[in-house]
Structure 1
Amino acid sequence: MELTVLFVSFIVFLLLGTSVAAAMIMSAVLSLFVGGMPMTIMAERVLSGINSYTLLAVPFFIFAAVIMNRGGLTDRLLGVSRCFVGHFRGGTAQVDILASIFFAGMSGSATADAASQGRILIPHMRKEGYDAGFAAGVNSASATIGAIIPPSIAMVIYGSVTNISVGALFLAGVIPGLITGLGMMVVVSFLAGRRGYPRAPKMTWRECVGPVLDALPALLAPVIILGGIFTGVTTPTEAGVIACVYGLFLGFVVYRELTLKDILPILAETVEATAVPVFIIAAGSIFGFALTTSGFGFMVQDVLQEITTSPIALLMIVVTIFMVVGLFVEGTAAMLIFVPIFMPLVQLYEINDIQFAMIVIITIMIGTITPPVGLQLFIAADIAKISVFKVDIWPFVVIMLVVVLVLVFVPEMATFLPAALM
């Protein structure tokens, strides 16, 4: 009875236009009320879901991303990217992808990446003759690299839910993230050649010296942030604090693009951006508790064990489930709902925890760029002033799916660096 109330009310609330997080909370409250649970336990579950030292890294990395956007770091990363790939086919689109790789090593936020670079590069691509759908597609797809290459807010949340080392997850994301970026660049080159998109003249080494030296302090940010984590000197949360301090130093002292007047707007933007994932985490905590008390997890586990005893087949089923759920549910919410359900099966089938984590995170990122609810897709489409259904996103979705499938069959792509360095 409780399970029926939970899912029926959840679907009804979604159909009424309620946000996913609010629908999770209200449906969970109804389900637990029908089951006779005291209201106090609901408040306790919400608070326990967000009362985590590891999760403190989330607002710090978001704060760092906002500082870097406003402090001039993003512009300088774009300048360096133009030096290296601006002369390739589809040069400005290639710049978007390479800059996302650089930016990923500092912020860990796909949303911040899509918004900051999209405001600059999408209008620029439109002026150069790129289709609006293609410009938005490149921007939204490349932004997902921010959640794959460390540091990654998605990995911090995943680690807090599963108690897996966030440092190990960070290392695991390096190779898949770089391969994803390279695959996207190949797609851009192919499509740009067929569609006649322009490329910039190749810059000489002498012309590149200025932009590279100017961006060098920004390029050192990933080294400082990740170096502390991988050497064990800092925790991910402490690394988030260092990212904020270093970003403020660059913005105020090195690049001098920040003033004291910028602090309050930066803090306000950070609070607003942090509220969304924290609210979803709190909602996911109580919704997950309702699923547990209703026995849904055991039901799913029993069904999957009856369907297959193959680890590969189980991973393919998990990918399919997250792909379908990602079409309708925000990625963080999907992670909080389903990962705790699948983790016992991961142990039972002797699947590597790190491999499974990377498969889930990248598949969830695919959901952020597919209609109808992909967040990065909405951001890019809004900047390009087109419908999300007109964004040319599917070639990039295919690339990300290929990376996921390689991870399914070649776990070493995710496990090699953690095993070698930790």
Structure 2
Amino acid sequence: METIVLFSLLVGILLLGAPVSVAMILSSAASLALSNLPINVLAERLLGAINSYTLMAVPFFIAAAVIMNRSGVTRHILDFAACLIGHRRGGTAQVNVLASLFFSGMSGSATADVASQGRMLIPRMKQEGYDAPFAAGVTAAASIISSIVPPSIIMIIYGSVTNTSIGGLFFGGIIPGIILFVFLIVIVHVLSVRRGYPKGERQSWKQTLPVMLRALPALFAPVLILGGIRFGMVTPTEAGVIACVYGLFLGTVVYREITPRSFVSIMEESVVATAVPMFIIASSASFGFALTVTGFGFMMNEIMTGMTENPVLFMIITLLALFAVGLFLESTSALLIFVPLFAPLAQSYGIPDIQYGLLMIVALMLGTLTPPVGLQSFIASDIADISIVKIDIWYFIAAILAVGLLIALFPLLTMFLPSTFI
């Protein structure tokens, strides 16, 4: 009964127009008050959720993404990707996907990816003759690679909540991220051939070489980050600091697009971009505590164990359940509410922490694509100047679901690299 009251309060406050984070805090406070529990516990939960050394990596990687965008890294990566595959049918759309793979090794943020690349590529694709819904759909879907290929901000949050090795999650995401890249490239190629989308001009080696040399310093960033973690030289949090310093080096020394005057605006943008996820983390912790008080976790345990004792089927149920949750709830909020409930269940099934973590991350990132709440689709459709319900995204959602199923069926995809390098 208490669980029903808590969710009723949440839905009611949302219907009044409150943001999700505010609704979670208010509903949690009201639920605890009705249960005659001290509300000041919520303040401790709010502060305790973000008072974490591990979570310090989040603002550093967000700042690194902002710095990379301002330093010209995104443009140089797009130019290099265009030289490699821009001559193919639907070349600009395929460049969109390849550039996301390159950019993922630096930003760790799907939102940063879709915002930076979308502003450059969506208008260009529309001008070249691509349909606006397709241009927005490709950009939004490709950005998901940034949350699966390391370094990933959502992996850092997941690891801090569940005490899963963040380095293990980083290395475990490499193979699924590459598989997703291949799936997206194939879908883009098939749709481009069917719809007659244009192809660009093939670049000669003489044209490609200077572009490649210009992009190499940027492409070295993931090697620096993962190499430091692999050899035990830095923690993921310290790797975020290194990413910031390296980005500033690229922007001020290599590409010379960051000036002392622009540094202040970079810090302002980073602070604003950091405040949103950190507030969501804090508010979700309060709601998660309220759920725990109601006994929702025990209820979920009984329901799931009653449905199946098969670990693979449990993972498939998780994938579909979180996909449904993502239709209505922002991904970080969904992570912080449902991960503390599902992760202990996965351990009881004997599922490796890294495998289950990556499954949940893939499932949660699907929610950033699905209308009406999908953040990446909203950003891309806004840039393309179309309604979010018109975005051509469902072929790509099917591909991401397929990656989730592969993670559930084949543990080696996520466990091979962590067991080898960590």
Band of TM-score, shorter chain: over 0.9
Counterpart amino acid of residue 48 in structure 1: G
Matching residue of 1:376: 376
The answer to whether the Cα contact below 8 Å between 1:5 and 1:27 also exists between their aligned partners in 2 is: no
Counterpart amino acid of residue 324 in structure 2: V
Measure, in 2, the Cα distance between the counterparts of 1:183 and 1:4.
Answer: 41
Measure, in 2, the Cα distance between the counterparts of 1:211 and 1:398.
Answer: 34
Per-residue CA shift, 1:354-411, capped at 9, x if unaligned?
A: 1111110011111101101000000000000000011100010011011111111111
Measure, in 1, the Cα distance between the counterparts of 2:4 and 2:32.
Answer: 12
The answer to whether the Cα contact below 8 Å between 1:2 and 1:32 also exists between their aligned partners in 2 is: no
Matching residue of 1:62: 62
Per-residue CA shift, 1:206-248, capped at 9, x if unaligned?
A: 1100100111111111111111012111001000000000100
Counterpart amino acid of residue 133 in structure 2: G
- Pairwise CA distance, 1:169: 0.2
Counterpart amino acid of residue 269 in structure 1: E
Measure, in 2, the Cα distance between the counterparts of 1:3 and 1:216.
Answer: 53
Matching residue of 1:366: 366
The answer to whether the Cα contact below 8 Å between 1:5 and 1:30 also exists between their aligned partners in 2 is: no
Counterpart amino acid of residue 113 in structure 2: D
Identical amino acids, percent of aligned pairs: 56
The answer to whether the Cα contact below 8 Å between 1:76 and 1:211 also exists between their aligned partners in 2 is: yes
Measure, in 1, the Cα distance between the counterparts of 2:347 and 2:373.
Answer: 32
- Pairwise CA distance, 1:304: 1.1
Structure 1 unaligned segments of length 5 or more: list them. Answer: none
Counterparts of residues 124-203 of structure 1 (less than 5 Å): 124-203=124-203
Counterparts of residues 266-305 of structure 1 (less than 5 Å): 266-305=266-305
Measure, in 2, the Cα distance between the counterparts of 1:48 and 1:22.
Answer: 17
Counterparts of residues 326-341 of structure 1 (less than 5 Å): 326-341=326-341
Query: Which SS does the other structure have where 1:371 is aligned?
Result: coil
Counterpart amino acid of residue 276 in structure 2: V
Query: Which SS does the other structure have where 1:309 is aligned?
Result: coil
1:100 aligns with 2:104: no
Counterpart amino acid of residue 135 in structure 2: A
The answer to whether the Cα contact below 8 Å between 1:180 and 1:400 also exists between their aligned partners in 2 is: yes
The answer to whether the Cα contact below 8 Å between 1:89 and 1:188 also exists between their aligned partners in 2 is: no
Structure 2 unaligned segments of length 5 or more: list them. Answer: none
Query: Which SS does the other structure have where 1:370 is aligned?
Result: coil
Matching residue of 1:259: 259
Per-residue CA shift, 1:122-163, capped at 9, x if unaligned?
A: 000000000000000000000111100000000000000000
- Pairwise CA distance, 1:4: 2.5
- Pairwise CA distance, 1:20: 1.3
Counterpart amino acid of residue 171 in structure 1: F
Measure, in 2, the Cα distance between the counterparts of 1:268 and 1:29.
Answer: 32
Measure, in 2, the Cα distance between the counterparts of 1:230 and 1:200.
Answer: 39
Measure, in 2, the Cα distance between the counterparts of 1:252 and 1:18.
Answer: 42
- Pairwise CA distance, 1:16: 2.0
Query: Which SS does the other structure have where 2:123 is aligned?
Result: helix
TM-score w.r.t. the length of structure 2 is: 0.99
Matching residue of 2:307: 307
- Pairwise CA distance, 1:310: 1.1
The answer to whether the Cα contact below 8 Å between 1:281 and 1:332 also exists between their aligned partners in 2 is: yes
Counterpart amino acid of residue 263 in structure 1: F
Per-residue CA shift, 1:243-278, capped at 9, x if unaligned?
A: 000100110111111111111111111111111110
The answer to whether the Cα contact below 8 Å between 1:280 and 1:332 also exists between their aligned partners in 2 is: yes
Measure, in 1, the Cα distance between the counterparts of 2:95 and 2:17.
Answer: 37
Matching residue of 1:41: 41
Measure, in 2, the Cα distance between the counterparts of 1:95 and 1:170.
Answer: 24
Measure, in 1, the Cα distance between the counterparts of 2:168 and 2:71.
Answer: 30
Per-residue CA shift, 1:10-53, capped at 9, x if unaligned?
A: 01112222211111111111111111121221100111111110
Measure, in 2, the Cα distance between the counterparts of 1:113 and 1:48.
Answer: 30
Matching residue of 1:398: 398
Counterpart amino acid of residue 308 in structure 2: T
Query: Which SS does the other structure have where 1:36 is aligned?
Result: coil
Per-residue CA shift, 1:53-101, capped at 9, x if unaligned?
A: 0000000000000011011000000011011110122100111111100
Counterpart amino acid of residue 40 in structure 1: N
Counterpart amino acid of residue 236 in structure 2: P
Matching residue of 1:411: 411
Counterpart amino acid of residue 91 in structure 1: G
Counterparts of residues 216-255 of structure 1 (less than 5 Å): 216-255=216-255
The answer to whether the Cα contact below 8 Å between 1:57 and 1:240 also exists between their aligned partners in 2 is: yes
Moved more, 168-177 or 84-93: 84-93
Measure, in 2, the Cα distance between the counterparts of 1:72 and 1:191.
Answer: 31
The answer to whether the Cα contact below 8 Å between 1:105 and 1:221 also exists between their aligned partners in 2 is: yes
**Structure 1: which 4+ aligned runs deviate by more than 3 Å?**
none
Per-residue CA shift, 1:152-185, capped at 9, x if unaligned?
A: 0000000000001100000000000011011100
Measure, in 2, the Cα distance between the counterparts of 1:187 and 1:231.
Answer: 37
Counterpart amino acid of residue 382 in structure 1: D
Measure, in 1, the Cα distance between the counterparts of 2:222 and 2:322.
Answer: 30
Measure, in 1, the Cα distance between the counterparts of 2:11 and 2:105.
Answer: 37
Measure, in 1, the Cα distance between the counterparts of 2:254 and 2:70.
Answer: 13
Measure, in 1, the Cα distance between the counterparts of 2:190 and 2:237.
Answer: 40
Counterpart amino acid of residue 25 in structure 2: I
1:386 aligns with 2:370: no
Measure, in 2, the Cα distance between the counterparts of 1:60 and 1:121.
Answer: 26
Measure, in 1, the Cα distance between the counterparts of 2:204 and 2:383.
Answer: 32
Measure, in 2, the Cα distance between the counterparts of 1:146 and 1:112.
Answer: 9
